[in-house]
Amino acid sequence: MRLLQILIGLLLLVSSSFAPAPALKIAKLKYNGGGDWYANKTSLPNLIAFCNKNLNMQIAPEEDIVEVGSADLFNYPFVHLTGHGNIIFSDQEAKNLRRYLLAGGFLHVDDNYGLDKFFRREIKKVFPELNWVELPFNHPIYQKPFQFTNGLPKVHEHDNKPSQGFGLIYEGRLLCFYTFECDLGNGWEDPEVHNDPEPVRQKALQMGANIVSYAFLK
């Protein structure tokens, strides 16, 4: 009987050693202020599926929702913020987001049209000492695994402005990547949502994959 117990214990130990590692998870950032933080409901699942298929990543198929001020924020190497309207960070939320980003987290912000002035105001609470820098097209985030020699692709037109990718850089590290006048997240949505041409969707997904890859591998 004792021998049988030992054998069962060894089998359990061996099987646990070969158990698949838990999948990485990414999250959408929930914020206060009345803006539609929940916009683009199909975008992140589609981006995750694209990354898992084309980059052999193992990201959980559905994104989580995490609040700016939550301690759970630190569970995610990549968080995504989008919307069309107002954002308000409390002092506690701003401090929590700052700690998260300085600890190695990564924030991708996608202006879904109308977000810009509110987000720029609130991020100053998080990093009052930093200014946005437009990333050059030779930055690694544009180079791999897919190459974008002219920077961000244009998904939707709003104000006849070029797509721009801005970064917050702290001690040489890119903490936050802000995609402006691009509508990148719209390009990740199910095809029937916006009826975008498939080449446009593919370019958007490839650029999204670059961002996720950069956040995980930086």
Nearest to 51 by CA among 38, 40, 60, 42: 60
| CB neighbourhood size of 193 (10 A) | 14
| CB neighbourhood size of 150 (10 A) | 10
Cβ contacts of residue 93 below 8 Å, gap of 6+?
A: 31, 32, 67, 68, 69
Total domains in the chain come to 1
Distance CA 38, CA 31 (A): 9
CATH number at residue 176: 3.40.50.12140
Asked whether the whole model's pTM tops 0.85, one would answer yes
How many secondary structure helices (H) and strands (E) does the chain include? Answer: 7, 7
> For residue 3, is it within any domain?
no
Over residues 180-212, the pLDDT tens digits come to 999 999 999 999 988 999 999 999 999 999 999
> For residue 37, is it within any domain?
yes
Over residues 43-102, the pLDDT tens digits come to 999 999 999 999 999 999 999 999 999 999 999 999 999 999 999 999 999 999 999 999
> For residue 114, is it within any domain?
yes
Mean local confidence (pLDDT), 168-172: 97
> For residue 117, is it within any domain?
yes
Q: Which residue range forms the structural domain that includes residue 158?
A: 22-217
> For residue 112, is it within any domain?
yes
